Structure 1
Amino acid sequence: MSSSRLPLSHIRVLDLTAHRAGPTTARQLADWGADVIKIEPPAALDDEPGGGLIGKRHGSDFQNLHRNKRGLTLNLKEAEGREVFFKLVETADVVLENYRSDVKTRLGVDYAACRAVNPRIVYGSISGFGQDGPYATRPGVDQIAQGMGGLMSITGLPGQGPVRVGIPIADLTAGHFLAQGVLIALLDRERTGEGQWVHTSLLEAQIAMLDFQASRWLMDGEVPGQAGNEHPTGVPTGVFPTADGSMNIAAAGDRLFRRLCRVLGREDLVDHPDYADSRLRRRNREALNAAIAEETRKRSSAEWDALLIEAGVPGGPIYGIDQAFEDPQVRHLGIARQVEHGSLGTLGVVGQPINLSAAPQPETLRLPTPELGEHSDALLGELGYDAAAIAGLRARKVV
């Protein structure tokens, strides 16, 4: 399949985002074929040339995050820069931004301004805490959202104190939620003929991801706490020691519990008065886990893995990142991809977890992350600027 046949190849996106949450949205759209134009300040105006939380431009994080885009430098603080931007808006389907809620209005590139130029525009925004309300202008980053969204209070070992999740989960989920919202708005535009403003926040995304932990409070009045490596409600589910390390076993529910007891050679646990149903197993979790651990220590992780698979009990090894990518199933799925960079050579990047039968994954990685303003001349040329005009914009530090 050629890149022109990728599902979003007819969509143009103007990407004003930085850091991680907004670029995650842009990456989702870019990977599936959208013409994403990454708009950044000219080098002379870059107030963080060494790279921020995402690291330097040629670093692995930045290169993984910004692939499949074309690069344009533009000074939006200048009238000429905004003039170029709105010419692009006329040609675009989507604008993405993750400024603090008041910044886009101050720059004059907010939804109302874009809609006045192109009523079909879908304008996607991510903020820390929402577009209005008491925290609207408060700065927010992933770890702050993890804390204020309740996640750190339920992560880690009991009594350990708050623990952040090992990935920027608020950033990533906000980015994915916004991508979903943008696609919904594009589908709605097919019916109405008009675009709309789509927005989410790190705080909203984080709270949405609490899912059943949130419903335990909202419906049951129960405040969840830290459960460590054990499932908060499903017993037995957690990390168990083996002869050569440890592994995960998930045998909550009567059927799986019976199967696990047979594999362990401990059928006596099935009818034990302390473990006869899920309520009792949850109440007596500590003693039950100790009984299971007494058996799992007798064999290696690989031996237990094979026995559990045969019995139909979910379980599996606990990998380091390097081991995860060496697993035969991970290799089969092909989620580790490669992209060719002009000066950096062949780079390994994380592919898409979405599989479409008519859009093979290798086609989704078409372009490496652009150098700063790499495609500025070509993009300005598409808008009708000649070489002299482009040179003038450069001289005035507009691009």
Structure 2
Amino acid sequence: MPQRIVIVGAGQGGLQAAVSLRQEGHTGAITLIGSEPHLPYQRPPLSKAYLKTGDANSLRLRPRNFFEDQNIELLLSVTVTRIDPAAQTVEHSVGSVPYDHLILATGTSNLRPDIPGLDRALDLRTLDDAEALREAVSKAQSVAVIGGGFIGLEFAAVARAFGLEVTVAEAASRLMARVVSPEMSDRFLKLHRGMGTTVLLGAPVSCVTETGIVAGDVPVTADLVVLAAGVRPNSEVAERAGLATENGVLTDARLLTSDPAISALGDCAAFPDPTTGRLVRLESVQAATDHARLIARRLVKGDEASYAAVPWFWSDQADSKLQIAGFATPEDEAIVHPDGAVFRFDGDNLSAVETVNAPRIHMQARKLFAKHQRPTRDFLAAHEYEIASMLR
């Protein structure tokens, strides 16, 4: 069992790794390194509840004394500059720390496309971003959002609730195209337009001006511009250390990197999907915390199990809660059930189930994937797409 464990990244995944190591019985040294000045906090509410309340304390995952009580060394406002796999050390902005095993939980950063004037746009990724955005919203009357994914649409819904004029500019031909079916895209397009939001599709932003943006050929006037055009994995330090990378830090099914003394988890980790074997990278809190628990069991108990949890995702937009069980690609076919659930198919096999304001069906879908892994079309048709019947 490694005695000195270093975790780079103090988000929910990194924190969960530290917590799980202690829960599993690790008694050696744990160092948790975070680049932000804040104690580990929840990110999902930043684009929703926090913008309304401004209550940063409610986001905090653990109080400061937790780290003292659990003998976890917490380094905040510290940037990792280099990993030396041969010497097994992590060099950072205020020194260095040795490790027997290293866990990379570095997450993602906002994509910043090559758009003239983009420095005028505000990001929404960190607590500091959200604080700055909340103040800017209080002084604005109109906002332009670059990107029609989860974060952009969640923010757009909150801005409309505040009474701002909102324009969403999406380069793709539909909303949330990377993660949901065309049918679900259409449903949320109607939702946002019904709220009074202007949604421009197939409208890549060509520049950010002092008075707004230009989306496609359309000039949009806005007091405030928010960038929500996707993310990229923070894998640069891993790549410089010689680790294999491909849209993230490459790992095997146990979340071990190409170096057996280094693991990776969460948004930065690219690993084989447990059902299809294809390389995936999951941007979800659930995946990050599940990864952390699996790595802790491997390091402390010697459990060599592969990651096999059912992926699930959610997005709260106005009064609509979108939930997805499973993992689909944009090419996967969609079949809409009369109850509104959307069943996605990778060839002959079910890949995901999308629902809105249907938590019971969502939970049943997660149980279905856990029980049957990849149900076939024939199996679903035989049960008339009634998930409760399939579970019985």
When the two structures are superposed, what TM-score results if normalisation uses the length of structure 2? Answer: 0.26
Q: Which has the higher contact order (CA 8 A, sep 6+)?
A: 1
Q: Decide which structure has the larger Cα Rg and report it.
A: 1
Higher strand share goes to which structure?
A: 2
Higher helix share goes to which structure?
A: 1
When the two structures are superposed, what TM-score results if normalisation uses the length of structure 1? Answer: 0.26
